[in-house]
Amino acid sequence: MKVLAAMSGGVDSAVAAARAAEAGHEVTGVHLALSRNPASYRSGARGCCTIEDSNDARRAADVLGIPFYVWDMSDRFHADVVEDFMAEYAAGRTPNPCLRCNEKIKFAAVLDRALALGFDAVATGHYAVLRSGADGLVELHRASDDRKDQSYVLGVLTQSQLAHSLFPLGDTPKPLVREEAARRGLLVADKPDSHDICFVADGDTSGWLAEKMPDIVGTTPGVIVDEAGAEVGRHGGTLGMTIGQRRGLHLGVPAADGKPRFVLDIEPVSGTVTVGPREHLAVSHISGIRPLWAGASPAGGVPTECTVQLRAHGDEHRAVVTVGVDGVEIELLDPAYGIAPGQAAVIYDGTRVVGSCTIASTVRVTG
């Protein structure tokens, strides 16, 4: 099988490429250049947008003895991921750019080009497992190592994309992957993992947004109020603020009970941010849009018991999901906290990913 290995310059993608080659596939490595000017997004070897990462990927391909290319995906990445990220925050929502990158870049733009060039599949270093289902479809399951499981950020993939994907690391704990990289002579064996948004320098989302969008809604100062409408502080702009945020609010008026307060609502047009106690963040119902199904979609109008995950490496919540004409309704049997529109809800049946949707609105627990 002809396999295109997406090589970010990190240890995971390098070992994934090595395993694909060792399995007998005809492997070609490709590094995605996501910015024509790497310094415009971030510096240092912490993401997938740097010259250092490209060089690390090339050296790994040389060690493995596979062909290697760099594909310029900068325009597509900026339009589908970066601009979407900015627009979502400007609208008061909280996006997940990693999901959008998987959906629009790695398993859409890259996979489409790979298939057009005669490749059979794309291999990545994601931690997830693919299995053949009883219905003949490809199932996406959680990785064996819960701490590294990335099925949540892959929850946007469709059956046609899963059928042309390989995740060689899904059954291996991360420490063993590093040991294997060292045995194979890969210099990235000890390279640190990337944890931040790859295109936001030093993790300062608010500062990055303010720099990129100085004149857009959400950059002007506004008031922070309590649930009764009384002003308790001021902020420099709602960009980068998110539902459930506690740190960095600098409230001038303490709560009557002395407990911390959290962001409950954000109104980007008026610039008003409402804060309150943590218990008022509890969500019992979610309405989702843009559903994407990993296999056959659940029967419409039929309530189905399942679990949902609402953020990367977040807890699973027992839920009842109903698929409607316009989207997905999720009744949470276990309340969730700090859930914001724009985030993704990924639906599971045991370890299997059923599909995902984008959170459009939530209903808070009352009483």
Catalytic positions: 101, 198
How many C-beta atoms surround the C-beta of residue 103 within 10 A?
A: 23
Distance CA 348, CA 357 (A): 12
What is the pairing mode between strands 222-225 and 128-132?
unpaired
> Cα–Cα distances in Å, from 293 out to 106, 154, 348?
17, 11, 11
DSSP 326: S
Distance CA 125, CA 140 (A): 15
3-state secondary structure of 65: coil
Distance CA 80, CA 101 (A): 8
Give me Rg for the CA atoms of the chain. 22
Tell how far CA 327 is from the center of its chain. Answer: 20
Distance CA 303, CA 322 (A): 5
